[in-house]
Amino acid sequence: MYLFIFSLLLILFQYVNSKNVFEDDLKTIEACKERAETYKDSLAVLNDKIFELSYFNLEQNEDAYTYLENKGYDVTALIPFIKDEIYKQNTNKGGNPLVPYAANEGKSMLINSIKLLNHKWLICDFSDGIFWGELLIKYEVLSQNEVTFVVIDSLLYPLQ
């Protein structure tokens, strides 16, 4: 009789314990599903933001990309070449000649970053460590190894 009661209590304990573990696992799964749904929503928002930010970008602009390809250029090699040509000018004494502003004493105005907007224009920012600004540059690809630059407009931000 004692063995029967002990077995019954043991089985009851096992049942209650298993039920609690199962319910806890269900709660964890539900919480994970909710988090996954939140992450999917966040991912959709970020993808929309990436699409929005890449709108003015040569690599995403199919018409501009096709224009350069139709001219016979390898665009994947041309994009880094154009950027390198501008960065090379940073090594000139006195800073980059594309920047129409004088640098602070003992410093040089250097171009920091470049974004090719399409097959004709690019935008870049420059700084000497104290002053900074942006340039809108028209570029023309003359050959796979030659490009010319003309500054269309520039701005220098005031010191705060």
Boundary-marking domain end, from 19, 35, 53? 53
Residues 78 and 30 in one domain: no
Mean pLDDT value across residues 62-71 = 91
Residues 113 and 76 in one domain: yes
Residues 114 and 145 in one domain: yes
Residues 47 and 66 in one domain: no
Mean pLDDT value across residues 52-77 = 89
Lowest mean pLDDT segment, chosen from 50-64, 113-127, 135-149: 50-64
Residues 80 and 44 in one domain: no
Residues 71 and 146 in one domain: yes
pLDDT (0 to 100) of residue 106:
79
pLDDT (0 to 100) of residue 78:
92
Per-residue pLDDT reduced to its tens digit, 71-114: 999 999 999 999 999 999 999 887 889 999 988 887 889 999 99
pTM of the model: 0.72
Residues 91 and 132 in one domain: yes
Residues 71 and 134 in one domain: yes
pLDDT (0 to 100) of residue 148:
95
pLDDT (0 to 100) of residue 150:
96
Residues 80 and 33 in one domain: no
For residue 77, what are the domain limits?
62-156
Q: Output the six-digit token pair for 93.
A: 């004494």
Quick one: what percent of the chain has pLDDT higher than 70?
Answer: 100
Residues 77 and 149 in one domain: yes
Residues 48 and 74 in one domain: no
pLDDT (0 to 100) of residue 26:
94
| Average pLDDT score, the chain | 91
Total domain count for the chain?
2
Residues 14 and 69 in one domain: no
